C-alpha cells in the first residue's frame, strides 16, 4: 500500500501545495522562496529518504514566519495523512547526527499526542534571516499536525548553520525509523489498541 499524501493549504498569507511519499528515495523538489529553508527541508528528505514535492508562495515581504509555520502545518498534515491509522509502524525513532562541532539528538514518538521539546545551545556564529526561532516554529507546527512527540536536543555547537543542519538531518533520520514498518506488528504499537 502506498504511503503517500497530497495536501494543499491556501490562506490570505500563504499558498502551499505538498506531495509526500514516506517510502521514497530522498528526492526533494522544494520551492518556498526561502533558500536556506529549502536547503534544510532537502536535507530532511535526503536523510529520511522521503520524497517531497513542495511549492509555497507566502507573504515574504512581511517576513518568513507565515511561510515557515504554514509549511510545517502542511508537512505535518501530509505525514499524518500518509500514515493513515499508523498500523504496523515502529512508532519510535531516535538519531544522533554530528555536523562539524555540533551534535544533534532527536527522539520521536508518533503517538498522536503532539509535543515539542527544543533545546539548542547559544550560537556564536549566526548569520542570515533564517534562524533557530523560525526553525522552532516549523518544528512546532510539524509536530502538532503530524501527531508526534518531538524532542530536539543539541548539547553543543557554535555555528548556527551547523546547529540547524544537524537538527534537520536528525529529524529526518529519526522519523525514518519511526515510520518504518515492523512486519511483526499486526496492529498499532500501543497497549490501548489505538494511537
Q: What is the pLDDT of residues 74-126, one digit of tens each?
A: 999 999 999 999 999 999 999 999 999 999 999 999 999 999 999 999 876 66
For the full predicted model, state whether its pTM sits above 0.85.
Answer: yes
Enumerate the β-bridge partners of residue 53. 19, 29
In terms of Cα–Cα distance, which of 72, 64, 93, 82 is closest to 152?
93
In terms of Cα–Cα distance, which of 113, 115, 110, 116 is closest to 91?
110
Q: How many percent of the chain have pLDDT more than 70?
A: 95
How high is the pLDDT of residue 191?
66
How high is the pLDDT of residue 127?
66
Confidence band, pLDDT 50/70/90 cuts, at residue 192: confident
- pLDDT of residue 46 exceeding 80, the answer is yes
Q: What is the mean pLDDT of residues 35-62?
A: 97
Query: Which class does domain 4-179 fall in?
Result: alpha beta
Residues ≥6 apart with Cβ < 8 Å to 63: none
Residue ranges per domain, the chain?
4-179
- Say how far apart CA 49 and CA 156 lie, in whole Å: 26
How high is the pLDDT of residue 124?
67
Amino acid at each position: 500500500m502506498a504511503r503517500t499524501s497530497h495536501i494543499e493549504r491556501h490562506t490570505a498569507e500563504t499558498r502551499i501545495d505538498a506531495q509526500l511519499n514516506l517510502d521514497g528515495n530522498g528526492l526533494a523538489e522544494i520551492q518556498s522562496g526561502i533558500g536556506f529553508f529549502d536547503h534544510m527541508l532537502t536535507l530532511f528528505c535526503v536523510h529520511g529518504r522521503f520524497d517531497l514535492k513542495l511549492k509555497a508562495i507566502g507573504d515574504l515581504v512581511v517576513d518568513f514566519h507565515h511561510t515557515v509555520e504554514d509549511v510545517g502545518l502542511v508537512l505535518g498534515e501530509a505525514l499524518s495523512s500518509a500514515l493513515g491509522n499508523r498500523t504496523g509502524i515502529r512508532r519510535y525513532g531516535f538519531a544522533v547526527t554530528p555536523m562539524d562541532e555540533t551534535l544533534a539528538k532527536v527522539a520521536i514518538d508518533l503517538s498522536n499526542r503532539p509535543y515539542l521539546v527544543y533545546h539548542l545551545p547559544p550560537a556564536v556564529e549566526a548569520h542570515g534571516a533564517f534562524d533557530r526561532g523560525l526553525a522552532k516554529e516549523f518544528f512546532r507546527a510539524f509536530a502538532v499536525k503530524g501527531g508526534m512527540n518531538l524532542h530536539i536536543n543539541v548539547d553543543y555547537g557554535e555555528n548556527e548553520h551547523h546547529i540547524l543542519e544537524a537538527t534537520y538531518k536528525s529529524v529526518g533520520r529519526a522519523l525514518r525509523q519511526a515510520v518504518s514498518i515492523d512486519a511483526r506488528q499486526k496492529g498499532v504499537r500501543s497497549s490501548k489498541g489505538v494511537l
